[in-house]
Every structure is written in structure tokens, then in C-alpha cells.
Structure 1
Amino acid sequence: MRMKLVDEPKGLVILVFPKLQDPQWPLWSPLDIFAIASSLMHAGYEVCAIDDRVDPEARAKLARDLPGALFVGIGTKFGDQLRNALAIAQEIKAARPDVPIVMGGWFPSLFPDSVFESPHFDIAIVGPGDFCAPEVADRLLAGEGMEGVTGVYARENGAIVRNPKGHLPDIRKTVAIPWAKVGIRHFILQHGWINLFTSRGCPGECNFCAIYCLDPRRWTALPAERVVDDMEALQGLGARAFKVMDTDYCADVRRVEAISRLILERGLRVRYEVLGRQKNLRAMTDEQVRLLRKSGCTEIEMGVEAGSQRLSDLIRKNLQVNETAETVRRFVTYGIRIKANFMFGIPTETEEDLNETLDLMNELLDLGHDAVRFQMFRYTPVPGGDSAVDDVWKELSREDQQELSLKELADFPVTDMEPDRMFWIDESYEPVLRRVYYFYAPLALLIDVDKAFADKPLWARFLMLLRPLARWRIRRHFYRFPFEKWLNDRFGHPMPHATDDGIGPHEEVLPENRDHIETFMGDTFNPRPPLEPGVSGNGTLPGAPSPKRPKREGSRPLEGASSTPPGE
């Protein structure tokens, strides 16, 4: 799609978003490409945005517009997308060797020097590209070098120019995305779902996360007015539900309240889902939680990661594991489903740690099978982490792999498929972890897991017969004689680690106030009209006791940690 905001643009820039793993669902809009395109258009350039995931004519359009391009920008991260990016760059240089190719996205932000192992890339951008892309375009148009452009690495005269990357820029200084101009209608999914960003960065310090490795504990957010302006504009184009993809939407609870109130004041009838860290969710008052639900928030994705306080402290989650169930219960009571993320195979994890994680998952599931849903992830040691916890081969004396080549990084196993050997896990514990993560936990704890076997309906029925046994194993921590896993390995196919695609109908949401919570096998709802403002001074449900927080035990403050992250 070609787009511009001026009649006589300075030049044409092509932005390409390569395919990821195939198939991928849901296909959310490439908001990062749209943000960069918006900044370039406001700077007077015409942009051709090409989404290789959804457009079967993507490569043909690239070839058609390539002769007139000032430069081509390609965004990418690890894995399949990086391999596809390298292939696209090779095709571009074969057709037009003189055109500069710029790589942006997560991969060059973490490994900018590795980009130049490919002879096809000329520039790498570290951090958000919408701030520096117009200056890169202006420099190229004027025939000037990249010296002094913050966050830009460039190959010039046989050497690499490395400019300081600076800190995460203030997102409030970005230009608004012209939603109709970028063709957002083509990306609205069933039931009216579209994705949206309202902030960047994260005030947390989870040391396994790429965000922390890139710019630790920095967070910047759009004001409430601009967030709701975007929602209103997108609603006018057909959107009805929003997947807010911020790493921590709730980092500033006052902003959360302001957004909720503004949605209600404007009378927007929308549904939205967000991500939030447990620490910030606990900082919200009952009134703020009530307003959040009343404004249309129906689900919060929360990274718990581990049920072991030792592991939680190791990866610096900055939460008390024994407060998780109470936190979830409070939001569920107000009608906000929690999607809890758990990570398996964290370095130094033991069977005792695993059992503590499974016990917590069972405790959460007892709040109701439709009130709590899980996403399970396997820890993947990615090179370039901030500490020995993440860069695990340093602990394992794998000196030959501390610096991986571009090809090795492109082929790095970041998918969730079962690896040959989890070298970061104790060899005696690894068989147990495999049995639990790759079979028993998904079968026992994921709702609608049988839908993943739609192509094998008889096998799906058989698995449902085995489900009570899997639940018994998980609750009793008995993983010996895994004949069910052997049968599935032989006759079935890999288990899913999430079954909710995140674009469901409005009918699946919880009622705004939920008085009664029964156990996993017998969920019961007693919906009633929402509270009116001012009915309850502290926001608690009429007749319900004030929630009591358990005493914090068994954990010491993390060394060097601040009690108030930036932005809170």
C-alpha cells in the first residue's frame, strides 16, 4: 500500500514486514511499521508498506516499487522472521545493488553489529524507528553519512559507524497514526478485534525479557486523551474490541483510571484486553478495578512465570508468589478474567520448583475454569541477556557459543517445539520437565485443549478420557510411567500451550460483578447490575468483607531494586 500526506513527497520509502512462523493466528496489524510510516509521511515522504504475512503479492509489489525507492526498511526479530528478512534483502540487492537497506526491530536493537555480517544491509536501527527514520531518510536524500544520528549503526567507507542509542524516547512526541490512511480496516479481525499500543517499554526488571535487556526499567506512555482518541477513531472504522499490547498497561494506575473514565464519558461501547504486572495490579484500588471493568476491560494478561518464590526472585519478577491467588480473585470478582503466563524450565529449576508452580496453577484454576486461563512457555536461553541467569552458556562453560554468528542467530531455536537437549537444565530433572510441559500440564490445565486436535476427533475424545488422570498426576506430582505421553507422541501430535486466540465474541466475557466462585469442575455465575458511582466508598461488593492481604513471608527485597519504578 502506498500512502502520503503531501501532494509532492520528497521521495519514496519502502517498509517491509516479513513473515514469521507459518501459520500464524491471529495476524495482528504491524503497528511498528505503521508508526514509522506515520513519522515518515509527516516528514514529507511517501511510504509503501508491504506486509509479507498477509499479502500474496507482497514480493511483486516490492519489485514494482523498488526502482524509485530512496531506501528499503525491513523489520525483524529472531527466528523465522530473521531468515525471511535476510532472504528478502538478498532479493532486493540482486535487483538493485545501489539501494540502501535498513534493518529495524528487536533483532538489530539487541545485536546491531551482527547485522553487518550480511553484505546486504547498510544501516541498523537500535530502538524505536519512528524517531530516527525521518532523519535517516533526509541524510540519504542529501547524500550525507549517518554520523551523529542517535541509535543508528551504518556501513560507510568500509567501516561501521556506531552512534549511541540513547534512552527510550518519549512516546508522547510521536505523531498520531492516520488509521484510515494506513488501511487499518484490512487488519480488523472477527468480532471487531484490532491491536493497539498505548505505551512503550516496561518499568519491571525481569532479567529474562528482551525489553529489560534493551532499555532497563524505562517506560513511556501516551496520555489518556490520545489513547481514547485512537479507540474512537478505530471504532469509527469498524473496530469493536482492542488487544492493548503494552507490556504493562497498568504501570501508572492514575492513567488507567483516567482512560477508563474518559471511555465512559464519551460513551464508547468497546471491549479491550490489557497486560499488567502483579505489583501494579495490587496497587489499584477497588474503585479503579470497578471502573476498569465498567469501561470495557474484560481480561488482563499477567506474567506470574513461577510458583516458586526462589525462582521468582531469581528472574526478578518483584512479586510475592503467595499474593498471586488473592490478586487474581479480586479482579475475577469484578468480572475481569486473568490470563496467567507461566514459564517452565528456568535455569536452576528443580522438581520441587516445578511442583510449586503446578500447585499455584491449580489454586488459580479453582477460581473457575472460565475465570482464569493459562499460557505456558518454555524458557529459551537467548544470547545477549543481561546476566548469567539469561546467558546460561556462560555458566555452562560454553565459551564457543558466547558470540553467535548471524546465521546461528537466525537459526536459533526460539520456537516452542521440543528440543533435543535442554542444556541449561539438570540432566536428571529434564525427563520430568519434558513430561509435564509437553503433555501433562497442557492436558490437565488448558481449557478446550481438545480443539487443537480437530483434525483427529477420535484422538481428541481419547485425550479427554485421559484428562482426569492428567489432573490427578499434576495434583499428586506423580509423573512416572508416562504411558499417555508415549501414546500421544506415537499417535497424536504436539500439545498446545495456549488455547485462547484472544479474539473471542463478547458473549464469553465474565459478568461485571461475580458474587459466587465455585471450583474448577462446577463454575457458577450470579451476574447482577454494575455498581453505580458512589454506592460503595471503597469499591467493595455490598455485603462482602474487605479483602485481606496475606503477610509477606519468605522473601527479602532484591538488592539494588528501587521500590518505585519510573512511571509509577
Structure 2
Amino acid sequence: MIFDPGNLSEKTKIGGSLKHHLPKLGLLYVASSLERAGHDILFQDLGANYKSNKDFINLLKDQKPKYLCCSVVVTEWPNAKRILKLVKKHLPNLVIIVGGPQPTAIREKTLSECQEIDYVVLGEGEITIVDLLDALENNKDPHFVEGILYKQEDKYIFTEDRKFVHDLDSLSFPAWHFLDFQKYSMSVAGKFKRGNDGYIITSRGCPYTCIFCDKSVFKHRYRSRSAENIIEEIEMLVKKYGVKNIMFFDDLFTLDKQRVKKICDLIKTKKLDFAWTCQARLDSVDEDLLKNMASAGCMQIGYGVETGSERLQKFIRKNIDFNYAKKIIKLTKNLGIETKGFFMLGFPTETKEEMNTTIDLAIELDLDIAVFSLVTPYPGTDLYILIENQMIGKDWSKFSPLGSSNLVYVPETMTKKELLKIYKKAFIKFYLRPTYLLKKLLSVLKHPYYAERYFSVIKPLFKSIK
């Protein structure tokens, strides 16, 4: 069985309070690889199916799988450990295999913190999981399986590193048939059409070296799928599953401009009707590319700006040119593509003045949506290595992907109270500007559906800073 452990308390129904829920593409890729290798798969997403831990244990007892596989990100680790410990207690012979960013980043700590785990799959898992199950099914020594970690007596055994999948077109599409699309939804802020939502990753790896990004799984080497392969999956999602909104999950969708242009051309040639969003570096797009994207249904681009301080731009190795950023964001908006900007507050050595400069830059850029987060040192990042000893505990459940007010780090230049005050100020100053409110009111009058979208952005943001 392959399952997604979710990220909520064991005392609640997992996923019961989620406003939106996204499937894990990594697990769906693993499922399709195992199916292609001839394995029978049971797929269970606890978040989407609202299963309590007790329900899940009963399901396992009823289905009697030989192996239990899951993928874990850092925010899910506390809940995943609770579930896996409970599973092993009730089903001691069930082989537990764990992969994903968290175990890949902390490695042997995964096994020391949760000894119920039998094997850890490191990095990309599509080929490794097939080889591992083949070894276990045929009583082969797992030491010869590349890319895994396990404990043998009192020793941690790391096998030889697994080489990256260079030909991403060779992988099967994610096992979309396991999903009930009605149970999944991206944030309303990213939805531009009513209908099912889809999620695609078209490339892996990012050649940039920003200190806050976790590249423990895909690393720095950029690899991409062909435009034809991507369009084939899009066509399946749109025509077979009724998908109307697609989010491209790539770290850097626009790195290869010619590939993106070809994707856009094929979308138009095949007359595929859907809206899509992506993320991009400001210096990885230009006017010609943006025109192609707009004509092919791109409705929103998320740009990582991070900070308004030139000093900190160098420190975090982002190195964005602010003048070019202003030009690109204005051009994006003029082409009818919504702009979202990502900013972080609370970098090491950052002053209150620099934080205020970041807030002012967000306003000056005139973005449609600004997402402010508190600096979060994820395991596997250079930032984590730099400030690990300065963190306020290591309660992984407080590591929010949106950087909520649950602090795990406060720079030495200010107090916790001062940092939270500026964090709150960022949202108020950006979203409660009269000019911003007037623009959104006018857009809502033209497109009533947008009212739901904008309120969905503002409400949770302000709730998180109370």
C-alpha cells in the first residue's frame, strides 16, 4: 500500500479541516512505476479521504498489504511518526518504507527518530522502490539496491547513491486513476475556472543556489520532459478527468524558454481549454516568452522576490535586479497575467529597516498577490546549516510552508515580538491600501467569481497573524 500520512493531529480526522488539498505527485509517480513493474497497488490519501488513525489501522488489517510506503515532507514528520509507530504496533510484520524530502534531508535521523521504519528511499524513488521490492520479494540482499538506507543490527547501512533519472519522458505518468478529483482542490487564489484541478511537474532540479531552498531530492542538475510528453499528460487530464486548472509545480518552469514556447504552441494547436499557473524567476522571462504564455492560457505567475534589500539579495544568493523586476511585473500584468510575489522576513542579520524596505518594494511592484512568510530553515538547505544552533526548538509541525506566525527562528537583530509586529504590518500595509482595495473591487464587479478568489487570499493571511 502507498499512502500519504497527512499533516494533522492524531486526535482529529486527517484532512477534515483543510480548505484545499493537493495530491503528492511523488507518490503518484511511485505508484505508476510499481504498477508498470507488475505490482498490485492500494493507494490511500488520508488527507483526501478523511481517515482517522484508527480507521487507517483497520483498513490495513482488512487489506493485509505486505509493504507500506509513504512520502514525508518536514511539516508532516511528527504526524507520520505517530502513524507509523501505531502501524508497527498493530502490524509488526508489515514492512515500512519511507521516502521524500524529510528522510532524504535528515537521513539516519529518520531511523533513529522512528525505529519502526524498515527502509528509507533517498532522493528520486521511481526506480529505487521497484528495485527494493524486487530484492525483498526474491530474498536478495538489499545492500545491492542503490539509493536506500536501512539499519542492520546497530549500524546504518547506506547503499551506493542512485543516479538521477535523466530521461524523464521514460517515466510513466502519475497514477491519476487512483484519485477522486472531487476531493482535491488547489487554493482558490490559483483557480481561474470552475472545475477539477490538476498538478504537473515538467522538470526536475534547479541550477541556482538560493540558501533557503531544499534540493535534497532533485539537486541542482536541471532535467526536463519534452513538450510533447507534457502535452500528452495535459490532454489526458483535461479530456479524461475534466481538469480546468493546472498548476505547474516546477522549481523553475521557465528556465528553458524554447521548451515553454513549444508547450504553449501545442496547447493552442490542440485547442486545450484550461487555465494554468506556474512559478518563475524574474530574470528567466522576457516579453516574447510572456506573450506566448498569455496566449496559451497562463493566468498567474508566482515570482520569488524574497527581499527588498540588495545586501540580503547577495547573502541569500538570489541576486534579483529590482529595476528589471519592476519591468517584468508590469509587463506581466499588462498581458493579462496575474502576478504573485513571494517575500521572506527575518533573515539572519536582517534589520527592521530592511524588512520595511521589503514591504515597500512589494507595494511598489504593484503585485496582485503578495505572500509574506517568516524565514524558515528547512533541513537540507544551506540556511538550516547556517542557523541550526540558533533555532527556537525543532518542532517540525511548526515548519509551515507558508511561514505562519509559528516561529522557529528569530534573527539576533530583533525580538520575537518585534518580528511578529513587522510580519503583521506587511499584510496590513499591502492589502489594506485604498488603491489596492479599489482595484480589486472593480475586478470583482467585472468577474464576480474573483470575489471568492480574493477573499480566499486575504482571510487566511490575516487569520495567521492574529
- 1:52 is aligned, of 43, 46, 56, to 46
Pair 1:217–1:318, CA change in 2 (3 A)? farther
Q: Secondary structure at the match of 1:131?
A: helix
Pair 1:192–1:311, CA change in 2 (3 A)? same
Q: Post-superposition shift, 1:256?
A: 0.4
What aligned pairs does 1:409-488 form with structure 2 within 5 A after superposition? 410=396, 413-414=399-400, 416-419=403-406, 422-427=409-414, 431-437=417-423, 439-446=424-431
Structure number with bigger Rg: 1
Alignment match, 1:193: 197
How many aligned residue pairs are there? 421
- 1:97 is aligned, of 81, 92, 99, to 92
Matching of residue 280 in structure 1 with residue 284 in structure 2:
yes
- The answer as to whether partners of 1:382 and 1:390 remain within 8 angstroms in 2 is no
Residues 40-96 of structure 1, C-alpha deviations (whole Å, 9 max, x = no match): 0000001111111121346535533456322111211113x2122112211221222
What aligned pairs does 1:29-428 form with structure 2 within 5 A after superposition? 29-57=23-51, 59=53, 60=55, 63-66=58-61, 68-79=64-75, 81-117=76-112, 118-170=114-166, 171-179=168-176, 181-187=177-183, 189=185, 190-211=194-215, 213-214=216-217, 216-236=219-239, 237-281=241-285, 284=286, 286-365=287-366, 372-386=368-382, 391-394=386-389, 408=394, 410=396, 413-414=399-400, 416-419=403-406, 422-427=409-414
The answer for unaligned runs of 5 or more in structure 2 is 9-14, 186-193, 438-446, 452-466
Q: Which has the higher helix share?
A: 2
Residues 333-377 of structure 1, C-alpha deviations (whole Å, 9 max, x = no match): 111111100001111111231132122112112xxxxx6211111
The answer for unaligned runs of 5 or more in structure 1 is 1-13, 366-370, 447-463, 472-504, 510-568
Q: Secondary structure at the match of 1:116?
A: helix
- The answer as to whether partners of 1:275 and 1:302 remain within 8 angstroms in 2 is yes
Pair 1:216–1:320, CA change in 2 (3 A)? farther
For 1:134 and 1:279, how far apart are their aligned partners in 2? Answer: 39
Q: Post-superposition shift, 1:262?
A: 0.4
Q: Post-superposition shift, 1:158?
A: 4.1
- The answer as to whether partners of 1:293 and 1:336 remain within 8 angstroms in 2 is yes
Q: Which moved more, 1:312-321 or 1:164-173?
A: 164-173
Q: Post-superposition shift, 1:422?
A: 4.2
For 1:44 and 1:121, how far apart are their aligned partners in 2? Answer: 24
Q: Which amino acid aligns with 1:425?
A: E
- The answer as to whether partners of 1:393 and 1:424 remain within 8 angstroms in 2 is no
Q: Which runs of 4+ in 1 moved over 6 A?
A: none
Alignment match, 1:516: none
Q: Post-superposition shift, 1:288?
A: 2.5
Residues 497-541 of structure 1, C-alpha deviations (whole Å, 9 max, x = no match): xxxxxxxx89649xxxxxxxxxxxxxxxxxxxxxxxxxxxxxxxx
Residues 157-202 of structure 1, C-alpha deviations (whole Å, 9 max, x = no match): 44321023345422233112353x3235344545332222222222
Q: Secondary structure at the match of 2:144?
A: coil
- The answer as to whether partners of 2:345 and 2:373 remain within 8 angstroms in 1 is yes
Q: Post-superposition shift, 1:433?
A: 3.0
Give the superposed CA RMSD. 2.8
Q: Which amino acid aligns with 1:222?
A: R
Matching of residue 19 in structure 1 with residue 6 in structure 2:
yes
Q: Which amino acid aligns with 1:309?
A: E
- The answer as to whether partners of 1:29 and 1:187 remain within 8 angstroms in 2 is no
Q: Post-superposition shift, 1:417?
A: 4.2
What aligned pairs does 1:486-505 form with structure 2 within 5 A after superposition? none
Pair 1:175–1:384, CA change in 2 (3 A)? closer
Q: Post-superposition shift, 1:15?
A: 0.8
- The answer as to whether partners of 1:382 and 1:391 remain within 8 angstroms in 2 is no
Pair 1:251–1:378, CA change in 2 (3 A)? same
Pair 1:314–1:227, CA change in 2 (3 A)? same
Residues 284-318 of structure 1, C-alpha deviations (whole Å, 9 max, x = no match): 3x332212111100110111100111111111113
Q: Secondary structure at the match of 2:365?
A: helix
For 1:122 and 1:188, how far apart are their aligned partners in 2? Answer: 31
Q: Which amino acid aligns with 1:50?
A: Q
For 1:45 and 1:58, how far apart are their aligned partners in 2? Answer: 27
For 2:157 and 2:430, how far apart are their aligned partners in 1? Answer: 51
Pair 1:216–1:32, CA change in 2 (3 A)? closer
Could you state the TM-score of these two structures normalised by the residue count of structure 2? Answer: 0.82
Pair 1:184–1:276, CA change in 2 (3 A)? farther
Q: Percent identity between the aligned chains?
A: 22
Could you state the TM-score of these two structures normalised by the residue count of structure 1? Answer: 0.68
- The answer as to whether partners of 1:29 and 1:184 remain within 8 angstroms in 2 is no
For 1:184 and 1:251, how far apart are their aligned partners in 2? Answer: 32
